Structure 1
């Protein structure tokens, strides 16, 4: 029988019941409270007396070492929280040194006993032992003590004697008490101080109209606060509304924080099924009174914005990486899966209130559908690719949801076009912008940026929507660039091709055919099974998912990139390599490289598509870009640096080192008229693992240590 030490148990339960700060709003009573039987609570009592009483005492609050498990300390932490979250905490912490080794039934019986001691009445139905079934049940508790009484009970240090009363203490303002629902109108026109989508607004411009922090004073930036998040790689961008920051972290943790102080307001932890590992999720979304997120087990979830309570979840049946877009009452989520077959990549529309499926669009056309003749006559069941791994944008003027797709993952069968009338090897709808009616899922228009991609050069990233002057007239446009660092500009209403801009980091595209709007490519660099190929950039991308920013006041784009190339090496007979065409790629510097790989380029958008400036540095860029009305561009790099640049010249005006690699998009927000800059770090995402061998002197964290950092002026 495993011996459980008193100190170990005290530590494990300390994690469970440390109360949140005084003054936080009590969660509303759950609509579906936990239930258990008297017999189950008795079994839990027996288990408690065998292993827990030594630390927490026979009253659950009078042990020498343990924190109290009854009263307001328990209710403040757990009332209104999913029973699955409580169960998950038990399994992760008990018994010390052997977490998760008790049976599901024993853990659940212990929960029933603790609930009973908190005056939750027993009923006729047992609390289910299956952790997944606990997700729809919520903790309630009754008969709690006052805050002063909660401080007197046992725990480390023994608590206070009965005659001790603390002087009054300040009660921090909880912004959840006054948070307003985020309506469609607010999302269409976000307040200057809010950050409501992963790129601030529906149009994905990542431009903040705040200007308190500007070129004159940015060098005075100092730390406002930071908070360590659950450890692991993190590419998530926080959202801020009415003084509350919502942030996601590895292993499907979602937290609400006081954006002024970093204090935790609520914390949702997903209980992943056995055999499912956590994966990076890049963004969350808000709509009305809910937070929406994709999860590592292929679900979309909706949480109550004010409590973190799970409202609904929908099983997609495929994997996710980019998070949801929510507009017009529809949650739109793209999926990804390499080698998952033709039905593994799609965009699905869900009812924002209920989670019910409204529509689904498959990226690879099904037999007989338009575009099904573009896969080189390869049998449908052998097709795969077209992942949607970046969140979509929304154009409220044209009522269109805009998504980008990735390349095909099986390049060999598409390498040489078959000679069959009406059949080609374009591979629709890979590397394509798709424009949908959000409520019906109808495909209104599409534009394929790069057909028959043989090099893994995704065009799956952010779609920016803005107004520019082009061709002598004002047009509403969509701007997007792929891994090649090649940007296309399309008419937002129709998808008509208008213009392109080449950042100068690639050697594959020679231009655009004026008759067909298709790219003219250098076929000498395509796989032919005869020789190695030197191609720029590397398949990791000259630019990749780390998003750029656009200043609509100056008409200037700011694009982060990495200066690299690759050698595509022929593999031996019978080997597949990175590409099924018989090649594998290796990374290399550009020819005559000076060892500076990090690259932020500013270029003008419109009739005069020209480079304005380029800031180059040795460490590769690792974060997205933020542009502000104060004339500042913020970005992070692989050496853990976070910097501010003059948006007119590219001169670096401020720089700091963080505890880990900034992998996400920086944000700006304001509270009570004061502007803040925030960024999340957490090494291990795609951008931070692709390029370290180019800079061997840079030491990366041994363990990803996810943190949110927030800066302010003095």
Structure 2
């Protein structure tokens, strides 16, 4: 059940008391009484030590009963109280109880303050204190506020949603210059902003404008910004809305995950209409009201009876359909599911590991459906307004033994692993697909962002695999155009210029029955989760890469890959000790324009701006800016944690900001600290959002 939030309908406070529609008032009263009884036991166990057994105050906290309490809370919706105690009590430990238990505590507090508990609770406000009362406090002489010497009037805070307009589909693919409304800024996946107030000439004046702590843990998602409001998805399936200019918290949603559910970071959330749409670690998709954080709808993803499912990528909303990819290594593979954005109704699901009776089903070396594994979807998709197609990437399989050696009369490509899939968002019709690397024996998947743009007069989609190969396809048909090579892989010896099919050096195919194999890059990349940025005006794709290799070592039984090999990190034979690579690739010619090398590997994605700047972050907690034209580093600062997502930029009231989140834990960081032992990662894994702007304005 979702955790109660600020603005959640007050009926949630006494859900049991309200009962089914048409229940008698007597039944409601009895249910409310039961809820109060439950709340009293919970209060004694969890709250009385601080707030006093009789709710009037104790040694460590003020009372939650009487005029002083009502002076603070009177006139506010009961839902605000539920949200406060659920997310803040005890201090630093909010969320330890269930939603029903927090509701019971709120019911107790309301009852102790004179609330009767009839059906009017559905629209309840907490009572105002009696006139002239509210100064008594708890008797300790500390909490009261004097009415004899009143405070000056507090400043009026403008309503950030006063002129709110619904987010449209056109806006998601062509946002206002000052906004960042989707993962990679727009659904085109370019990671490029037209803002140019911060330039190579003044970037040295960037300073912290504001910062906010987030729940500690892996934090993968880019913030989204629209009309001066920043939305941040934090670890533990929490969502925050901040004033994007000051960092003031506007609202917070915290999900109450079922016991035993492991929280997972997500790469993105989505804005659509008047909603924030997200996927949750307990395999739900839900919509929040963008102005209040109130849940609008919440639905479970149909799992088709499959186990081991995980959500790491994030949602894409296009043509009124919410799409989400799932990951698993269990039998029958993963899938992509879609839901109606207005209601949450399930629309369709698509198997990313093709079953025998489906298109592509004859490419699994004769395996039965229940022995086909992989096809995980770790990254959100893109949307092409010209074709109306949603473009998704699919990963590989770890069950490499089943596909390695071709069974006579079979096909062992393993669709739709390592493919781009192009769907109609509302129907799930697969219009085209392209498999970038069939029969991947190395865990070098192609599941990353799909970037739309215009190159050499053609409307194309570009994407790259861990190898550091960057394929360009016709966006309307999926027809192969060309491949650019970042220059670090050592196992692909040829690429068919017509079909794009890649030829692997047979001497480097691993297995328990073969000698150890040394090759580049490592299975962790190469390029990996960190998305690049594309400048459509210059056809330049900016990408970071880790210059790492691997030994695929056979073992007698087991193994990371089912061919019977484990994977070990290694430096390239000619390594200069610089493992972090930044490249500018001319996608029109497939040539590298420049390259920048540094010691610590990158961990964050790329941000490009019209000010001629590139921003990214690395494992050594450095956040940096580079000159797009030359690759020269022009600015740096230190962060409290490892930047884990891509930086973004936006503008409020004419002032440009650059934001980055920290919270180490994305998969590409695994093993990399050993490459630079002199640069240990923080032992305390904090998380935050830090926002920079030019010191003194423009």
SS of the residue corresponding to residue 268 of structure 1 reads strand
Correspondence list, 1:260-339, <5 A:
260-316=245-301, 317=303, 318-338=309-329
The residue number in structure 1 matching 2:533 is 549
> Quick one: distance in 1 between partners of 2:297 and 2:655?
36
The residue number in structure 2 matching 1:240 is 225
> Quick one: distance in 2 between partners of 1:252 and 1:671?
27
State the 1:430 CA deviation: 0.3
> Quick one: distance in 2 between partners of 1:563 and 1:144?
65
Contact 1:80 1:138 in 2 (8 A): no
Residue 199 (1) aligns with residue 184 (2) = yes
Contact 1:562 1:620 in 2 (8 A): yes
C-alpha spacing 1:156/1:266, structure 2 compared with 1 (3 Å): farther
Correspondence list, 1:530-541, <5 A:
530-541=514-525
> Quick one: distance in 2 between partners of 1:565 and 1:148?
74
Residue 642 (1) aligns with residue 623 (2) = yes
**Per-residue Cα deviation, 1:682-713 (whole angstroms, up to 9, x for no partner):** 11221222311111111211121011010000
Correspondence list, 1:49-68, <5 A:
50=44, 52=47, 55-56=50-51, 60=55, 65-67=60-62
> Quick one: distance in 1 between partners of 2:386 and 2:141?
60
Residue 345 (1) aligns with residue 330 (2) = no
Q: Report how many aligned residue pairs link the two structures.
A: 666
C-alpha spacing 1:176/1:638, structure 2 compared with 1 (3 Å): same
> Quick one: distance in 1 between partners of 2:173 and 2:105?
48
> Quick one: distance in 2 between partners of 1:455 and 1:82?
53
Which of residues 691, 694, 697 in structure 1 aligns to 2:672?
691
Which of residues 654, 659, 667 in structure 1 aligns to 2:640?
659
SS of the residue corresponding to residue 427 of structure 2 reads coil
> Quick one: distance in 1 between partners of 2:132 and 2:635?
47
State the 1:169 CA deviation: 2.1
State the 1:524 CA deviation: 1.2
C-alpha spacing 1:393/1:43, structure 2 compared with 1 (3 Å): same
Q: TM-score, normalised by structure 2?
A: 0.89
Which of residues 549, 554, 563 in structure 2 aligns to 1:581?
563
**Runs of at least 5 residues in structure 2 that lack an aligned partner in the other structure:** 18-30, 304-308
> Quick one: distance in 1 between partners of 2:268 and 2:380?
8
Which of residues 471, 496, 505 in structure 2 aligns to 1:488?
471
State the 1:680 CA deviation: 0.3
> Quick one: distance in 2 between partners of 1:104 and 1:194?
35
State the 1:151 CA deviation: 8.4
Q: TM-score, normalised by structure 1?
A: 0.87
State the 1:335 CA deviation: 0.3
> Quick one: distance in 1 between partners of 2:134 and 2:318?
44
Residue 394 (1) aligns with residue 383 (2) = yes
C-alpha spacing 1:310/1:152, structure 2 compared with 1 (3 Å): farther
Correspondence list, 1:181-580, <5 A:
181-316=166-301, 317=303, 318-338=309-329, 340-342=330-332, 344-420=333-409, 423-469=410-456, 474-528=457-511, 529-572=513-556, 575-580=557-562
The residue number in structure 1 matching 2:14 is 34
Q: Which runs of 4+ in 1 moved over 6 A?
A: 75-78, 91-94, 102-106, 146-152
> Quick one: distance in 2 between partners of 1:171 and 1:593?
59
**Per-residue Cα deviation, 1:288-318 (whole angstroms, up to 9, x for no partner):** 0111111111111211111111111221233
State the 1:177 CA deviation: 3.5
Contact 1:34 1:139 in 2 (8 A): no
Contact 2:196 2:611 in 1 (8 A): yes
C-alpha spacing 1:453/1:104, structure 2 compared with 1 (3 Å): closer
Residue 116 (1) aligns with residue 111 (2) = yes
CA-based RMSD of the aligned residues comes to: 3.0
C-alpha spacing 1:644/1:50, structure 2 compared with 1 (3 Å): closer
State the 1:139 CA deviation: 8.8
State the 1:31 CA deviation: 7.0
Contact 1:66 1:156 in 2 (8 A): no
Contact 2:424 2:430 in 1 (8 A): yes
> Quick one: distance in 1 between partners of 2:610 and 2:132?
48
Contact 2:12 2:79 in 1 (8 A): no
Correspondence list, 1:68-87, <5 A:
69=64, 70-71=69-70, 73-74=72-73, 79-80=78-79, 87=86
> Quick one: distance in 2 between partners of 1:139 and 1:688?
48
> Quick one: distance in 2 between partners of 1:704 and 1:431?
32
